[in-house]
């Protein structure tokens, strides 16, 4: 790893900092169907810097921690951490995440400069258990009982605003469930 000064984080640059948002909506699996959980959260992105692999690949890396609380009882009901990585040469964005259900995801996508009308960066990453590169790892219990089969996420960031939507497809209770989360956050 190198000095953090002068690192170009590319499309990830706008993520750095502490974000809060209270417009979250989670749709999660429930034995009787689905549960809807309005939520608020804090996401903190910090610099790691440049990371070099095999003396040829150079990644610009951020670490993040996401703490999500249910509005109904203020309990933390989702705790996630991981890294966002930018490979400028390949124009590739990567998102590795772990959640304390013994599920890990490495999602990726290309970024070639997509922006919305306000100039905010729009990034998309995805993973699938059958994909060659972007995969999901999970415990034997989760494989058997609550298997994540895909994950996709869209993130828009710029001008002090961050919004995301993500869909996690989970095989649970005898069917495939579309587990979704979305929120809008403001930079502190």
Candidates 4-12, 88-96, 117-125, 165-173 — which segment interacts with ligand HEM by CB under 6 A?
Answer: 165-173
Contacts with ligand HEM, 69-88, as mask; x by CB under 6 A: --------xx----------
- Least distance from ligand HEM to the Cβ atom of residue 52, Å: 28
Rounded Cα–Cα distance for residues 34 and 57 (Å):
43
Contacts with ligand HEM, 5-44, as mask; x by CB under 6 A: ---------------------x-xx-------x-x-----
Residues 119-148 that bind ligand HEM (CB under 6 A): 146, 148
Candidates 5-13, 55-63, 101-109, 117-125 — which segment interacts with ligand HEM by CB under 6 A?
Answer: 101-109
Nearest one of 44, 35, 48 to 15, comparing CA atoms: 44
Is residue 68 part of the contact set for ligand HEM (CB under 6 A)? yes
For 107, 127, 132, 176, 178, the CA distances from 150, given in Å and listed in that order, are 10, 6, 13, 11, 10
**Choice between 37 and 50, CB closer to ligand HEM:** 37
For 32, 81, 104, 163, 168, the CA distances from 108, given in Å and listed in that order, are 33, 16, 13, 18, 15
Rounded Cα–Cα distance for residues 159 and 184 (Å):
13
- Least distance from ligand HEM to the Cβ atom of residue 124, Å: 15
Is residue 164 part of the contact set for ligand HEM (CB under 6 A)? no
Is residue 181 part of the contact set for ligand HEM (CB under 6 A)? yes
Candidates 11-19, 44-52, 110-118, 168-176 — which segment interacts with ligand HEM by CB under 6 A?
Answer: 168-176
Alpha helices (runs of H) in the chain, residue ranges in sequence order: 140-145
Q: What is the rounded (10 degree) CA torsion for 95, 16, 25, 129?
A: 0
Nearest one of 165, 173, 133, 172 to 149, comparing CA atoms: 172
Helix, strand, or coil (residue 27): strand
Q: Which residues bind ligand HEM (CB under 6 A)?
A: 26, 28-29, 37, 39, 68, 77-78, 99, 101, 103, 105, 146, 148, 151, 168, 170, 172, 179, 181
């Amino acid at each position: 790893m190198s000095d953090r000064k002068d690192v170009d984080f590319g499309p990830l640059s706008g993520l750095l900092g502490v974000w809060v948002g209270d417009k979250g909506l989670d749709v999660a699996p429930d034995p009787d169907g689905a549960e809807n959980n309005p939520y608020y959260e804090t996401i903190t992105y910090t610099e790691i810097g440049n990371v070099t692999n095999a003396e040829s690949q150079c990644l610009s890396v951020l670490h993040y921690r996401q703490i999500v609380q249910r509005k109904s009882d203020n309990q933390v009901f989702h705790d996630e951490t991981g890294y966002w990585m930018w490979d400028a040469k390949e124009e590739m964005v990567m998102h590795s995440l772990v959640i304390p259900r013994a599920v890990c995801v490495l999602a990726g996508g290309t970024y070639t400069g997509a922006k919305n009308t306000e100039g905010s960066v729009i990034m998309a990453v995805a993973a699938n258990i059958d994909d060659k590169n972007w995969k999901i790892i999970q415990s034997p219990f989760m494989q058997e009982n609550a298997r994540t089969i895909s994950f996709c996420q869209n993130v828009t960031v710029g001008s002090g605003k961050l919004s995301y939507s993500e869909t996690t497809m989970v095989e649970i209770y005898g069917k495939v469930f579309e587990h979704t989360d979305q929120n809008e956050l403001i930079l502190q």
